[in-house]
Structure 1
Amino acid sequence: MKSNRNLSRAEGRRLGNVALIAFMLGSLLLLSLVRAKFSPIGKTGDAIKAEEQQAMAKDSGEMATAHEAAAAEEEEDETRSKPTDSSSGSGGIGSTAIVAGDDHAERASKLVCYESSRRSDTCEAAGDVRVVGRAQTVLVSPLDREWKVKPYCRKNDAFALSHVKEWTLRPAGSEDAPRCTVNSSATAFVLSTGGFTGNLFHDYTDVLIPAFITARRYGGDVQLLVSSYKPWWTTKYLQVLQQLSRHEVVDSDADAEVRCYPRVVVGPTFHRELGVDASLSPSSGGVSMPEFRAMLRDAFGLERAAAAPSGDRWDIRRRPRLLIISRRTSRLLLNERAMADMATSLGFDVRTGDPEVSTDVARFARLVNSADVMVGVHGDGLTNMVFLPAGAVLVQVVPYGGLEWLARGTFREPAEGMEVHYLEYVVQKDETTLSEEYGEDDPVIRDPAAIHRQGWDTLKAVYLDKQNGVQPAQNVVESGDNKNAAARFRGSFVQEQRTVRDSVNCSS
């Protein structure tokens, strides 16, 4: 049986602390009011649209370096690579990649398979290209060797690749090449919806953004040949895929045709988690994350390019909208209702959303695009930040367990490329259900680093899957330490208000 002290602490956690919630949401409100004038990245809708139209006028490029956010200590500077050499053997692709900025036309005149990043392999060919989708085979003439590739951007993850079909590119002479049954002047682009698709984060970072990086340079004259085909997934994102290609999307696994093209690309190019790096293709000007987000707005009919207030920005009748991303399983916000009530009292128009796999993407995208602030616990639901207008605010609640590195790579760093402000709250040990399940002396609570050393599977099982609830509010019920902490939070809140007010006065 738990002691009365433990029951009191649990009750305190459920009640939460108004001071911290007020600090976080009050700061958001103040930031929302002044961002149009003082934000370093917030821009007017007209300015953003002008930049995007200019970016769309440029060709896109495809060469990349990558950044692996799944390793806490990994350095982010990647090497730009060189073409693979035939000594890598016929069974796969070598460990080096093609140099960014090399002439694309020269590469396309012959087959080149290369490591386009540490996360992706890509093959390109031009000539007599015949695709036999049901056999996962591309026949190319002329070609002097065989290549194999899995067209999915997680090349070092054996589990993910076990769900991705391998494609073979091999030589084909005119005498043994199968007869073309469908001819096209477009470029064929082979990609896979195997791997981790079905998780919103992986849908974008492993497939949709790499597909955009790879296909955009063809201006729609590219045909998507989808391997490891999932009909529900293709239907879910059909509006996005139609922005990349004006041709029919082909289920290559079930395709009995011999499709002939002048060019083929097998495997998309990865840049970074939830991001695009325009500097990786300087010869063509590159593609950009704002351009990707503009494409999403076109796909789903989203109205807001920027979170600029309508009318008089100091009009107190205007209520900025705050969206809380709900979760149904692990990492729930136990005090979600209290947070919503507090935000409402501070002047927000509060909405909640639960982006399930079956959720209508266009409808949920419109809800997110209407928000000025989006709040949620670390998880794939935060991927909906791709629909936030520029200058909006994302608040990531980081679960207990030393997961700041994971939060940084998945959402904090991508926020800058999306022109979204980022705030973070890290859950403390007395704000998580783990403290009740394991006890304060267990290594799970006392020494998260020890759990990390046991590997990703253990870390994920404990801190992501078993953390059934978090309550981002300081417990102020028993100790003097907690009361002092609350006073510090209140002091920080007052100081934040004073700083913002001073900024307004100095700039007026």
Structure 2
Amino acid sequence: MKSQRNFSRTEAKRVGNVTIILAIFLSLCVLSIIKSHFAPYAVKSDEPVVFEEERKESLKIEKEETKETAETADSAAIEDEDDEAETETKAKAEAQAQAVDLSKPTCYESSRRSDTCEAAGDVRVQGRTQTVYIQPLAQEWKIKPYCRKHDAFALSHVKEWTLKPFSAARPPPPCTRNHSATAMIFSNGGFTGNLFHDYTDVLVPVFISSFRYDAEVQFLVSSLKPWWISKYLLIFQQLSKYDIIDVDNDDEVHCFPRAVVGPTFHKELGVDAGKTAGGYSAADFRKLLRRAFGLERAAAAPSGDQWDIRRRPRLLIISRKNSRTFLNERAMVDMATSLGFDVRVGEPDINTDVAKFARLVNSADVMVGAHGAGLTNMVFLPAGAVLIQIVPFGGLEWLARGTFQEPAKDMEIHYIEYKIRLDETTLSEQYHTDHPVLKDPFSVHKQGWDALKTVYLDKQNLRPHLGRLKNTLLEALRLLPHSHSH
């Protein structure tokens, strides 16, 4: 019994070993099958090298293709840019041609008082011959660049300019100086030297025509008076960053991309904002004057210091010596002082320092004067100030209205009119009571401007009635902020 149990144990042990061996063998078989299943693409040991070379070659090809694609894209972009540049150049050329031809002729009547020529393209200015050569230009034009086109006497002092198209038979002169700014040609002739005409015929029209260029404009002045340019140089320097050219006495051929010949007039001492390219107005012109001359007051207002004399409103009397003189000027000063005014008297003339007088006017709250060029200094008054125009005897209300009353509104200035009566004029001492000069002024008007000017402007002096004038000054006081400051 004992030997049988031992055999059985030995047999069992052998069976266990065999089982283990069989399990190992089966495991190896299973692993072999799994390996062959998951690694069907086994390669020789040298194949990875061949594969790496192919990979490198493939990468090289990809890089070259990418580079070629990029170069092709860059080339296409450059071609697109070239096309865009060419298109832009063509568009500019077409725009220049359209600027000349589309909406109006090169030269046109810009107002009842002014002709203006505008051109773009190849513009060549030969000053000594008063000629502007232009390409493109359909026909020849002539113009006198001064804003008083129907006044033969004024235009007799203005040189005529000719605009000519390029010609194959007679080519234009070659450029000797090239400019990137816009050329603006105007005349310094006409009635310049008279303060009113300086502004209404030249300075305001030049502002209207040049302000839109933001100082990128070159002024070429014909019939230039050096003293006149010096007088208003500070204004021109606000409008242009370039030195003024005395074009009649210049030997250069100046070439520009654009030109304006002859500034545009709107109205006496005024700007019609609806007709300007940027909607700028008389207020912008006055702002420019304040910058030019360093004027401190944009608006009439009393000082905040109760001890400051500027708390008193300042009255400026524009004095005259040759005609329309105030014969009782000293009494006028005393009466105005009694009303509380700080009174100053100024007598501007052709030699007056513009900047200095501008500062005096800008310090005033009320300016009073007889009709005449001196009242043009109203352009320096602060907004809200009062202008009192004393209108000489002789039915001159229409003249007073057009020259100073209407401009005052656009300048934001209060306007009061004081009309001289028969007992306030020296004409009553020069003519008998029934003379047409006193009885029927319009019969003199019908004789023309020269007759009217000689009688009612040149031969008349004034003695305003102090009682009436006092009421006028009290009315002016009521319009000022000083009367509401206490």
TM-score tier after normalising by the smaller chain length:
0.7 to 0.9
Deviations 1:316-361 (A, max 9, x none): 9821111000111010001111000111111111111111101100
Residues 18-417 of structure 1: pairs in structure 2 closer than 5 A = 106-108=98-100, 112-173=106-167, 176-281=171-276, 284-311=277-304, 318-417=311-410
Tell me how large the CA RMSD over aligned residues is: 2.8
Hey, what does 2:68 align to over in structure 1? Answer: none
SS across alignment from 1:117: coil
1:471 is aligned to 463
Aligned match of 2:89: none
Deviations along 1:353-394, one digit per CA (max 9) or x if unpaired, are: 111101100000000000011010000000000000000010
What's the secondary structure of 2:287's corresponding residue?
helix
Question: What is the DSSP-based 3-state SS (H/G/I as helix, E as strand, rest coil) of the residue aligned with 1:124?
Answer: strand
**TM-score using structure 1 length:** 0.72
Separation (CA, whole Å) in 2 of partners of 1:494 and 1:286: 35
Report how far residue 309 of structure 1 moved: 1.4
Contact 2:336 2:470 in 1 (8 A): no
SS in 1 for 2:110: strand
Between the two proteins, what is the percent identity of the paired residues?
67
Would you say how many aligned residue pairs link Structure 1 and Structure 2? 387
Amino acid at match of 2:456: Y
SS of residue matched to 1:411: helix
Cα distance, 1:285 vs structure 2: 3.8
String of CA shifts for 1:381-422, please: whole Å, max 9, x gaps.
000000000000101000000000000000011000000111
Query: Secondary structure in 2 aligned to 1:224?
Result: strand
Which whole-Å CA distance do the structure 2 matches of 1:471 and 1:310 have between them?
A: 33
Change in Cα spacing, 1:414 to 1:495, as seen in structure 2 (3 Å) is: closer
How much has 1:233 moved relative to structure 2? 0.5
* TM-score, reference length from structure 2: 0.75
Q: State how far apart, in whole Å, the 1-side matches of 2:120 and 2:446 are.
A: 47
Alignment gaps of 5+ in structure 2: 1-94
Contact 1:146 1:169 in 2 (8 A): yes
Once the two structures are superposed, residues 281-309 of structure 1 have per-residue CA deviations (whole angstroms, 9 ceiling, x without a partner) of 4xx44220010000001000100000111
Indicate the SS of the match to 1:355.
coil
User: 1:497 and 1:320 mapped to 2: Cα distance?
Assistant: 10
2:312 alignment partner, SS class: coil
Q: Compared with structure 1, are the counterparts of its residues 499 and 370 closer, same or farther at alpha carbon in structure 2 (3 Å cutoff)?
A: closer
Mapped to 1, the partners of 2:470 and 2:427 lie a distance apart of 29
* 8 A contact 1:192–1:228 mirrored in 2: yes
Q: Name the CA shift for 1:314/1:414 in 2 (closer, same or farther; >3 Å).
A: farther
Which stretches of structure 1, 4 residues or longer, exceed 6 Å deviation after superposition? 312-317, 490-500
User: Which of 417, 436, 449 is the aligned partner of 1:443?
Assistant: 436
CA separation of 1:313 and 1:276: change in aligned 2, threshold 3 A: farther
Residue 22 of structure 1 corresponds to none
Deviation at 1:499, TM superposition (A): 9.0
- The question of whether the paired residues in 2 share the 8 Å contact of 1:109 and 1:125 is answered with no
CA distance, structure 2, for counterparts of residue 455 and residue 354 of structure 1: 29
Q: CA deviation at 1:280?
A: 1.8
- RCO greater where, 1 or 2, for CA within 8 Å and sep 6 or more? 1
Higher helix proportion (structure 1 or 2): 2
Work out whether residues 144 and 155 of structure 2, in 8 Å CA contact, stay in contact via their aligned partners in 1: yes
- Secondary structure at the aligned position of 2:311 is classed as coil
In the alignment, the residues of structure 2 paired with residue 433 and residue 382 of structure 1 have an alpha-carbon distance, to the nearest angstrom, of: 21
Larger Rg: 2
Deviation at 1:107, TM superposition (A): 2.6
C-alpha distance 497-472 of structure 1, shift in aligned 2 (>3 A): closer
Q: CA deviation at 1:142?
A: 2.2
Q: Deviations over 1:26-67 (max 9, x none)?
A: xxxxxxxxxxxxxxxxxxxxxxxxxxxxxxxxxxxxxxxxxx
C-alpha distance in 2 between matches for 1:494 and 1:369: 19
Deviation at 1:177, TM superposition (A): 1.4
Residue identity matched to 1:168: T
Describe the shift of the 1:405–1:105 C-alpha distance in structure 2 as closer, same or farther (beyond 3 A): farther
* Partner SS, residue 388 of structure 2: strand
Deviation at 1:130, TM superposition (A): 0.4
